[in-house]
Amino acid sequence: MYTSIPKGLTDLTLAIEKGTNAVISNRYNPFYYHGALPQFYLWVLFLSGLLLFAYYIPTIDNAYFSANLVNAWTSVDYITGKLPMGAVVRGVHRYAGDAMVITIVLHALRVWVTDRYRQYRWVQWISGIVLLLMVLFIGQTGYYLVWDERSLVLTRMTVSACEALPIIGPGLKAWFLNGSAITNLTLSNFLFIHIGLSFTLLFGLWVHYVRMTRPVITPPPAINYMLMAVLLLVVFAYPITSGKMADINSAPTSFDIDWFFLFPYWLMAKVDLTTYWVLMIGATVGLCLVPLPSLYKAAAPIEAAEVVLTKCVGCSLCANDCPYQAIEMVPAPAGSRFKLLATVKPYRCSGCGVCVGACAFDAIDLPNLLDSDVTAQIRAMAEAKPN
Amino acid sequence: MSEQKVITLICERACDLDSVCNEQGEVKEVDGLHVVKLPCSGMIQPLMIEAAMKAGAAGVIVTGCQIGDCYYREGNRMIRERLLGQRPPGLKKTVDRQRVLALWLSRPQKDRFLSEAKEFVAFVRQLPAPPPPAAKPAAK
Amino acid sequence: MGKTIDIVLVVVGAIACLALTGLMPWAELGMTGAPDAWPLWLRWINQNLGIPLPSYDQVASLSTGWSEYLKKAGAESSFGDYAYSLVMGLAMVAAAIGIAAIGREEAEEKTVLPVKK
């Protein structure tokens, strides 16, 4: 238990959570909804994004900066300056993205600190990394879409990074630009990636949740109000500003950086492209390896629960209570007095014993801790003569 | 009656009692308070509590992590609901509810456990003796 | 003890939320309560049915301060929208405090089973 994590760190987290419980009670403790926080921001992003999508025009025309120009930048400018509440919706969309990254990182940190990321949870850890990468890339495409000078620099940097990759480089570049150069089609592609990948997140989240019984994906209303309020206050405190409209013939070199999404570009500017890719791919693979069993000598192997076939009455209580969907009720073999029979999927089982507690018939057991042994131990303790 | 045992069924991730227990799992400071560790408080069967009572224990302390926090997601919430009779299987009617205490304490909360446990042990030991196992329990 | 605090929090949260909600029209009109700023149909109701429009004289000073801040922060226009966002954010904080105070139970570290008769 907790052996792979510095003990002080876990104790500190538990102490902070206990303190939070004392102030706002367990029910509203945001630490207990850490996975639901980014999920809430995802809904905010979908909704505000839908409103922006209604007015966004994915083209790069800049016909010598003529009057009545219609392109991505002017449509964003129109949203921000003219549309009622447009500035607020745009701000909410931007900051909800930042907030989502922050909450995802906090979620991952808590999961790591409390040792809830390995063994039977590896699917959640790996899918979480994939989801984080997707969120980062979606956020970056959002920065290309506004089509100011920063977008132009970012697009060019991405292209050069793609080109640096062997074999797949040219194909990746052509896919990214939707052609061989930056054209109107490029922005259509960005918009498609931005929105299409966002919906793909839902598939990723399905993988992320699929082994969970009753996943906690909705914080209580009071927390939702606070999450939304934070966005609105930040929208006022740091109003969104656009850079200058991008001009394909110019070569802007510097831009303000959003540390939540654009840190890869900061790295790209500091090191050469080979180092960049080695670092990025290395970091991703490294994160994926965190739950590798051989890194934790102390981690006890899990022994999956076993059903006592002669005792199971097929009542489904254990299957209902199993927190990891590891128990499936199957039709009982012919000749049985009961309709159903519990079966354990060992690769999902965490060995927690919640099913043992759920069984009123002693029909399910942890092989390394039989409930009959526990009961015998309890009896022996209770009956022992005082010494 | 002061020698009657009290059994603690505890999640191994809830408050850490290793430092206050001897090798036999008895709390050093409180005479006759024994500790049984389980991987999760959700593993506690109401049957185990009944078995302890039948074997002559004065009371049972159930200890899990802070409600809302469970390494296995929902274990402590489930045993809490079982004790309160909101989730099957529940405690038998014959079990004296006064003799069961549930504590939800995170790992660093050893002192809170000791103070609560002392109070509870003193309380259950002064309760009138339970009817002998053979006798019919009080109706209703 | 805990209950008194909760009741105080609910009342404070509700009053703050209502007061801030009352500021929302003012913000939406561009941080002004001037009669000309109201939409036509409200002005019509005001003139023909005699229903008074709220007065925002007391908060007029906020307008200049907030506008200056927004200008400094780089916002170019629609200061009223930003103000609306701020007021709504504060109202939601107040609402969250009130809701949490209603729904909150004492931090539970101990469950004593109810004794059945």
DSSP B32-66: TEEEEEES-GGG--HHHHHHHHHTT-SEEEEEESP
pLDDT at B1: 44
Q: What is the predicted pLDDT for the residue at A20? A: 83
Residue A13: predicted pLDDT: 86
Phi and psi dihedrals of B38, rounded to 5? -130, 160
Chain B residues touching residue C108 (CB < 8 angstroms): 67, 104
> Encoding tokens for residue B79?
């045993």
What number of C-beta contacts closer than 8 Å exist between A and C? Answer: 98
ipTM of the complex: 0.91
Q: What is the mean predicted confidence (pLDDT) over A148-155?
A: 92
| Interchain contact B140–C (C-beta under 8 A) | yes
For residues A337-352, give the mean pLDDT: 91
The reply to whether residue C113 touches residue B105, judged by beta carbons under 8 angstroms, is: no
**Predicted local distance difference test score (pLDDT) of residue B24:** 81
Phi and psi (nearest 5°) for A170?
-60, -40
The yes-or-no verdict on residue C85 having pLDDT over 90 is yes
Please state whether the peptide bond connecting residue B89 to the residue before it is cis, i.e. omega within 30 degrees of 0.
Answer: yes
Asked if residue B135 has pLDDT above 50, the reply is no
- DSSP letter for C75, please: -
pTM of structure: 0.91
For residues A323-345, give the mean pLDDT: 91
C111–chain B Cβ distance below 8 A for any pair: yes
Contact flag A350-B36 (C-beta cutoff 8 Å)? no
Residue of B97, B98, B103 lying closest to C110 (CB–CB)? B103
Residue type, A227: L
Rounded distance between C-alpha atoms, residue C38 and residue C34, angstroms:
7
Residue A297 pLDDT class (50, 70, 90 cuts): low
Please indicate whether, in this complex, the C-beta atoms of B48 and A386 are within 8 angstroms of each other. Answer: no
Euclidean distance between CA atoms B78 and B68, whole angstroms: 11
Task: Say how many CA atoms lie within 13 Å of A10 toward its Cβ.
Answer: 22
pLDDT recorded at residue B136: 46
Lowest mean pLDDT among A116-130, A251-265, A288-302, B29-43: A288-302
Q: Which amino acid is at A232?
A: L
DSSP string, A216-280: -----HHHHHHHHHHHHHHHHHS-----PBP-TT---------TTT-HHHHHHHHS-HHHHHHHH
| Closest by Cα among A264, A258, A255 to A95 | A258
Measured in degrees and rounded to the nearest 5, phi and psi for residue B79 equal -65, -30
Percentage of the residues of chain A whose pLDDT score is greater than 70: 95
Strands B59-64 and B100-104, by their bridges, are parallel
pLDDT of residue A288: 92
Rg, Å, chain A Cα set: 27
Q: What is the pLDDT of residue A154?
A: 93
B3/A374 CB distance under 8 A: no
Residues of chain C in contact with residue A15, where contact means CB-CB under 8 angstroms, are: none
Residue bearing the bigger pLDDT, B63 or A22 = B63
Domain range summary for chain B, segments of one domain joined by +: 6-126
Half-sphere exposure of A84 (CA within 13 A, CB side): 5
Q: String of b and e for A325-334 (b: at least 16 CB within 10 Å)?
A: ebbebeebee
Query: Percent of chain C at pLDDT above 90?
Result: 45
Helices C79-103 and C60-73, axial angle in degrees (round to 10): 110
Cβ atoms of C79 and C30 closer than 8 Å: yes
- Tens of pLDDT, residues B43-65: 999 999 999 988 888 899 999 99
Per-window interface: C 49-88 vs A, CB < 8 A: 70, 73-78, 81-86, 88
The rounded distance, in Å, linking the Cα atoms of A260 and A262 is: 6
How much is the pLDDT for C108?
Answer: 74
What are the Cα distances from residue A338, in Å, to A157, A309, A330, A334, B88? 65, 11, 11, 9, 19
**Does the distance separating the beta carbons of B45 and A357 come in below 8 Å?**
yes
The domain ranges of chain C are: 2-103
DSSP code string of A306-352:
EE-TTT-----HHHHH-TTS-EEEEEPPTT-SSSEEEEE-TTT----
Go through the domains of chain A in sequence order and give each one's CATH number. Answer: 7-295 (1.20.810.10), 306-383 (3.30.70.3270)
Closest CA to A116 of B58, B69, B17: B69
Chain A residues in contact with C82 by the CB 8 A cut-off are 87-88, 235-236, 239
Distance CA A75, CA A52 (A): 10
Selected from 3.30.70, 3.40.50, 2.30.29, 3.30.1120, the CATH number assigned to the domain covering B6-126 reads: 3.40.50
User: Which helix (H) or strand (E) is A364 found in, with range?
Assistant: strand A364-365
CA-angle at A371, arms to A366 and A372, nearest 5°: 130
CB-CB under 8 Å, A88 with C81: yes
* pLDDT above 70 for C29: yes
Query: What is the torsion angle, in degrees rounded to the nearest 10, for the CA atoms of residue C98, residue C99, residue C102 and residue C107?
Result: -100
The 8-class DSSP code of residue A384 comes to P
At A63 the pLDDT is 61
* Spatial CA neighbour of A231 closest among A33, A47, A375: A47
CB-based contact, A360 to chain B, within 8 Å? yes
What is the Cα–Cα distance from B48 to A379, expressed in whole angstroms? 9
* Ranges A223-232, A356-365, A367-376, most confident: A223-232
pLDDT at A41 over 50: yes
pLDDT: which is higher, B19 or B1:
B19
By the 8 A CB rule, do C116 and B97 touch?
yes
Count of beta carbons in the 10 Å neighbourhood of residue C85: 26
Place of tokens 């009622």: A84
Read off the pLDDT band of B131 (50, 70, 90). Answer: low
- Checking if the pLDDT of A67 tops 90, the result is no
Q: Give per-residue pLDDT as tens, A196-228.
A: 999 999 999 999 999 898 998 999 999 999 999
Closest by CA to A201, choosing from A209, A190, A212, A189, is A209
* pLDDT (mean) for B28-47: 89
CA torsion sign for C67, C71, C73, C78 is: positive
Q: Count CB-CB contacts under 10 A for residue A281.
A: 11
Question: And the tokens for A259?
Answer: 């540390």
What residues 73-112 of chain B have any CB closer than 8 A to a CB of chain C? 80, 83-84, 91, 93, 97-98, 100-105, 109, 112
